[in-house]
Amino acid sequence: MPRSGQAREFSRRGFIGAAALAGAGAALGPVPAAAAAEEGDAPAGHRLRTVEFTEGTNAAVALSPDGERMVVEVQGILWALPRSGGTATALTAPGLEPTRPAWSPDGSTIAFCSYQDGGFHLWAMAPDGSNLRQLTSGPWDDRGVAWSPDGGHLAFSSERAGDAVSGSSYDIWTVEVATGRLTRLTDRSGVEDYDPSWHPDGDRILFVRADTAGGRTVASVPAAGGQVSVQRTVDSGTVVCPAVSRDGRLAYVWVGDTSAANSYTAGSASLVVDGQVVSGGEDVSPLPPCWTPDGGIVYFADGRITDRSPTLDTAETIPFTARLDVPRPRYRRKARDFGSTAERDVRGVHLPALSPDGRSIAFCALNALWLMPIGGQPRKLLQAAPSHYVQMPSWSRDGRSILYVYDGDGDGDGLAAVHRLTPDGGTDTVLARGGRFNPALSPDGTRLACQDVTGNLLVVDLATGTETKLATPLGGNGLPGRPSWSPDGRYLALCDRNRLNHRFREGYNVIRVIDTRDGSSRAFLPLPDTSVADRCDSGPVWSPDGAWLALVVESALWVLPVAPDGSPAGEPRQITDEAADHPSWSGDSLRLLHLSNGQLRLIGRDGTERRTVPVPLRTFRSLPPRSDVTRIHAARLWDGTGEGVREDVDIVISGNRITAVEPHRSGARRAGERLIDATGCTVLPGLWDAHTHPYQNTYGGRQSRLNLAYGITGNVSLGGFAYEQARLRESVDAGVMDGPRFLTTGELIDGSRVAYSMGRAHRTEDGVRRSLERAVALDYDFVKSYVRAPGRTMAQAARTAHERLGVPTGSHLLTPGVQLGQDLTTHLSATQRQEYGRAVSPTGRAYQDVHEIYRGGEFAIIITPFSALCLLGDDPSLAEDSRVTVLMPPWDSATVQRQAKAAATPEQLRAVQREMAVYRKILADGGALALGTDAPLTPIGLQVHLGLRALHRYAGLSAAQALHTATVAPARLFGVEDDLGTVEPGKLADLMVVDGDPFRDFADLVRTSWVMRDGVVHRRQDLVGGDQAATVAGRSAVRAEDWHAVGQAMRRDGCCAL
C-alpha cells in the first residue's frame, strides 16, 4: 500500500520509464546489458544435472565470414564451434534467451534477438560471448536480425510503427549500429513483413511477405527505402528465412502444407534453392540457412548440422556435443490430509458484488448464491443442484433485485439463463435464455446487457424481449469481461482483447467503450503498453456517478477518471499495493469492494478507510463415515501396480479409503456392508485428466459431470480464474457439486501481452509479486507461467511454487523452463514466443536434445495429443453416446458428431503415429509422462479416451502402460501417489468401473458404468439423465443455430498450432 495511505497517481506517459523507447523514430544506441541470467534465477533448493546435446530441434547455425567458425543456437543457448564440429562452448546464460545469431561481415560481432526483458530486441556480443550489449528496446518486438554487407547496419522486422490498441503489423527496419538510428523500409497495411536478409550487393533487403494466405512471397526493398518488388512466390505452404549467396542464388526454407485436419504439423520442411528442393527428404530447421564462402550451405536438418556442397547434391553432417548444467529442484511437497473433515474458512468467495446502499454483498460460494449484510451472517438465496452451477451475481441500480446466471432450469433449454431475484419478496424471473452470461441491468432497469457463449455483447429490451447483438469481441480465447453501464445508459464499458498482428495471437486487454445507440466503439489502455489484469472481472467498472472506472492492473486496484462518454479525463490512480480482484462500487461512488488474497476488503475511492469484511462462512470435506463399509465384487481388477489383471476380486472400502483387496469368497460379506455387484465389469483406478481448464463460466455444471461420466476422478487445472477454482475445489470437497477431485491453479502468469481471458498480464515485478502472493493465499496446487512471461517471471513463479506452496510448476516452454527450475512442460509443443518452439520441428519430429531433457524423468511432460481427435472417425458410435448427445453442450456435441462422420485419413494417421513415436521414446528413456487433454479445447472426458487409444494403438503401449499415463503417472507427478493412482489398501477410493474388459478390447474402456470418488458412487445414467428433457427440447428450439460454427468461434486463436 502507499505509505501515506493515499492514492498514488501515475502519469500515463511516464509509467514505462524513460529508458523504454516506444517511438518509431527514436534513436536506439547501445545500452549496457543486464546480466544474462540473474543470480536469483536458479531455484534455492536444487541439484545440477548435466544434459548433453548432440542434435538440435529447430536449431540455428551462423557461419563466420571466413568459414572457419560457427555459432549455433540449441535449446536457447548460443554455442561456439569450429567448422569441423566437436565440443561446443556455451556463450550465453539461459535467461538471455537468444535466437537467430548472425555474424558480422568482419567477424568481430555476433548479433541476435533476445527475450530477456519480456520482449524481443536486438543484442550483440563478441564471438567469445564478451561485450554483451542491447541494441534496441521498448514495448515492441524486434525479430529476425541480418547484417548489411558493410557491417554498418542491421535489418530486422518489427511492430514498432504500430499502435498498441489498433494493432501493429511487422515491417522491415534497419538500425545503424554505431548511432542507433532507425529507418523503416516497408509500411504496407494488411501484410506482415519478416525474416529480412541482405543481398550481397548491399543495395536491397529480401524478406518474406505474408498476406491472409500466409507467407508465400519472397520480396525485396531497396536498402535506402523505396518500392517493394516480388522475387519469388509459392502456391502452397509457407516460405521462411530467405538467404542470397554471393553469386545471387536464392535459398529459403519451404514449410509444406498438411492435408491432415486437426493436425498441427506440416507435411514437410525443405531447403529450396532457386525454386528447387535440394534437401531431399531431410527435415530442415525453419531457421536461416547460411551460405559458405565457396557457395555451399550450412543449416540444421534432422536435428544435425548439415554442410551441403557447392554443387548442392551432396551433404555431410558436422557432429557436435554441447553440455549444459540445468538445476533440478528439490523441495518439500505440499502436505495433504484427504481424510480430514475439520471445518475451515471458505476461500472461494466468487464474484462478490456490493449493494448500491453499501450495506450488503451478494456472492457465490459452495455452489450457492449468498447475500450477506456487512458485519452479519450470510443468507443463502439459492443452492444449486450438485449437477448444476450458479454464478455471476450483480445488483440492479435501485438495489431491489439481484441478477445471477444458472444452468439448472428444468423447463429451459439446458443452457445458462439470466435470472432476476428479489431477495425480500423471493420472486425469481428468467430474463434471458440460450447460454447468456455476465449480466448487467441498465440504470433504469429496462435493458439487460449480457454475452453469449462466443462473447458477443447483447442487449435485451426487457419489455419486448427483443435481443440485439451490439458488438462482437475483438479477439478469441474466452469471453470479454463483464459489461458495465454508464449512468445515463448510453454506453457500456468492458474489457476486451485486441490482436496486434496476424503473426502472433497475443495482444492487450483493453478498455472498450461501446455506444448502445449504434454499436460504435473505441478502445484504450489504462496505461501505456499495459493490460487490464484479465478478462474475468477486473473491470472496467463504471462508478454510479459516471466519473470513474475501477479496474485491476498489475494485480492492484486502480481508479481512472473519465468523461461522460468513458474517455479518460485524467491520470489513473493506484489505490492498493495488495493483490486485488473483482471490484464493485457503492451507490455513492465513494467506496469499492474487492477481494484480496482470499479476503473481502472495502476501500475508499482515494485509497483510505481500508478495512476487511469478515465472511463468517465455513466448510468441510464431506466424506462417508468410516463405519460405512462397501464391498465391490469385481470380475476383473487392474490395480495399477503392474501389467497383471486380477479376476474375481473383492474391494473393501471403509468411508473413503480402501481397506482390503482380496479374492472373492462366497459368504465373505459381513453384516452392515453395502455390496456392489460388478461381476460383469472391470474395476480400475479412476482416470485423471492432467491438463484441463475450468470453463464453468460457459459450461456450467456440465464440465465436471462429463469428467465423471467418462471415468475421470482426478482433474488438474492448468489455468483458470483463481477464485472460481478455489470455489470449485471447496464445492466438490463439500459434496455440494458433482465432479472429480480437483487440483487448482489460477490465471496463467503472463507478460504484458496476453491471449486467453484467464491470462494474468504483468509488466512489472510488483505485479508478479502480487499475483504470486495471491497464489499462496489461495493455496494453488500448480503454478503455470505462460507464453509471454520472461525468464525472470518464470523463475520467480518456480521459487514461489516450490518454496512456499510445495507444488510443481511448468509452462509451454521446454527451454528456458528446464533451465529456470520448472518441473515440466504442459504440452509437447503449443504456442511459443519464438516463431517455432524448441520441442518439435514443424513436421512434428523431436530430436535428441528434446529427449535428453526428458530422459530419466527429472523434467516431466504432460502430453495433450490433439492429433488423436481424428480417431473419432474410426469409431462413430462414440458420437452416438448419450454423454455426447445429451450431456455435452451443443457446440461440442456438434464438433464430435461432425468429426465422427469422417474416417481418419492416411495423413491424419501419419500425424498421430509421428506424435506417438515421440511419446514412446520419452517413456523408453525413463521419462515421466502424464496424459492431459487441454479440455475444453478438446471434447471434455472423451479426449482422454482418444488419447489413451492413440497411445495403445500407435505408441505400441500395452493396455496397462497406456493406463499408467492417466492413473499412476499423474498421481506421482502431483505428489499424491501415497493416496491415489492405484487400487491398494490404504489408498483413497477413487475408482472407475467399466462394462467390459479393456484388456481384451481396449475400446471397452470408454464404457464407463459408474465411478467412485472419495467413496461416493456416481452412476453414469444419473450424471447424464438429469439433462435429457431440457437438452432435447432446447436443441430442437435452436435448430437454426449452427452449433458447430459456435464451437469453432469459441476455439479461434487456440493455443496449439505450432
pLDDT of 867-897, one tens digit each?
999 999 999 999 999 999 999 999 999 999 9
Q: Cα 1000 to the chain's mean position, in Å?
A: 37
Q: What is the pLDDT of residue 46?
A: 85
Of 591, 619, 647, the last residue of a domain is 619
pLDDT at 1039 over 70: no
- Give the span between the Cα atoms of 790 and 339, in whole angstroms: 40
Say if 47 falls within a structural domain: yes
Question: What domain range includes position 910?
Answer: 629-745+780-1050
Asked if residue 686 and residue 792 are part of one domain, the reply reads yes
Residue 634 CA: distances (Å) to CA of 662, 670, 994, 1006: 11, 17, 10, 17
Asked if residue 505 and residue 480 are part of one domain, the reply reads yes
Asked if residue 684 and residue 592 are part of one domain, the reply reads no
Average pLDDT, the chain: 93
Q: What is the pLDDT of residue 1057?
A: 44
Could you tell me the pLDDT band of residue 1056, with boundaries at 50, 70 and 90? low
CA dihedral over 927, 930, 933, 934, signed as positive or negative: negative
Asked if residue 308 and residue 210 are part of one domain, the reply reads yes
- Give the span between the Cα atoms of 974 and 743, in whole angstroms: 9
- Give the span between the Cα atoms of 333 and 330, in whole angstroms: 9
Q: What is the pTM of this model?
A: 0.94
What percent of the chain is predicted at pLDDT more than 90? 89
Q: What total number of domains does the chain contain?
A: 3
Say if 428 falls within a structural domain: yes
CATH value at residue 281: 2.120.10.30
Say if 147 falls within a structural domain: yes
Q: pLDDT of 516-538, one tens digit each?
A: 999 999 999 999 999 999 999 99
Say if 722 falls within a structural domain: yes
Of 619, 639, 654, the last residue of a domain is 619
CA angle 810, 816, 820 (to 5 degrees): 70
Could you tell me the pLDDT band of residue 1058, with boundaries at 50, 70 and 90? very low
- Give the span between the Cα atoms of 44 and 943, in whole angstroms: 38
- Give the span between the Cα atoms of 907 and 913, in whole angstroms: 10
Mean pLDDT for the stretch of residues 323-339: 96
Asked if residue 652 and residue 603 are part of one domain, the reply reads no
Of 592, 619, 646, the last residue of a domain is 619
Say if 442 falls within a structural domain: yes
Asked if residue 721 and residue 701 are part of one domain, the reply reads yes
Mean pLDDT for the stretch of residues 637-657: 98
Helix ranges (DSSP H) in 86-188: none
Q: pLDDT of 945-1004, one tens digit each?
A: 999 999 999 999 999 999 999 999 999 999 999 999 999 999 999 999 999 999 999 999
- Give the span between the Cα atoms of 514 and 509, in whole angstroms: 15
Could you tell me the pLDDT band of residue 38, with boundaries at 50, 70 and 90? very low
CA angle 587, 371, 438 (to 5 degrees): 70
Q: pLDDT of 551-590, one tens digit each?
A: 999 999 999 999 999 999 999 999 999 999 999 999 999 9
Q: How many CA atoms lie within 13 A of 287 on its CB side?
A: 33
517: left (phi over 0), alpha (psi -120 to 50) or beta: alpha
As given in the structure block, the three cell numbers for residue 291 are 551460405
Are 312 and 250 contacting, i.e. CB atoms less than 8 angstroms apart?
no
Q: pLDDT of 105-125, one tens digit each?
A: 999 999 999 999 999 999 999
Q: What is the pLDDT of residue 718?
A: 98
Q: pLDDT of 797-839, one tens digit each?
A: 999 999 999 999 999 999 999 999 999 999 998 999 999 999 9
Mean pLDDT for the stretch of residues 385-396: 98
Q: What is the pLDDT of residue 39?
A: 40
- Give the span between the Cα atoms of 450 and 444, in whole angstroms: 16
Q: What is the pLDDT of residue 263?
A: 56
Q: What is the pLDDT of residue 303?
A: 98
E-state strands within 851-956: 860-863, 929-931
Say if 482 falls within a structural domain: yes
Q: What is the pLDDT of residue 8?
A: 38
CATH value at residue 825: 3.20.20.140
Say if 202 falls within a structural domain: yes
Asked if residue 287 and residue 255 are part of one domain, the reply reads yes
Asked if residue 913 and residue 887 are part of one domain, the reply reads yes
Kindly give the interhelix angle for 791-799 and 765-777, rounded to the nearest 10 degrees: 30
Q: What is the pLDDT of residue 236?
A: 94
Q: What is the pLDDT of residue 28?
A: 39
Say if 758 falls within a structural domain: no
In the numeric block, the cell 504442459 is attached to 826
- Give the span between the Cα atoms of 824 and 690, in whole angstroms: 12
- Give the span between the Cα atoms of 361 and 199, in whole angstroms: 67
Asked if residue 608 and residue 642 are part of one domain, the reply reads no
Mean pLDDT for the stretch of residues 271-284: 97
Give residue 983's identity as a one-letter amino acid code: V
Are 741 and 767 contacting, i.e. CB atoms less than 8 angstroms apart?
no
Asked if residue 810 and residue 788 are part of one domain, the reply reads yes
Could you tell me the pLDDT band of residue 44, with boundaries at 50, 70 and 90? low
Q: What is the pLDDT of residue 26?
A: 35
Contacts of 698 (CB under 8 A, 6+ apart): 416, 435, 437, 453, 479, 889, 1050
Asked if residue 640 and residue 593 are part of one domain, the reply reads no
Asked if residue 321 and residue 271 are part of one domain, the reply reads yes
The closest of 994, 969, 936 to 698, measured between CA atoms, is: 936
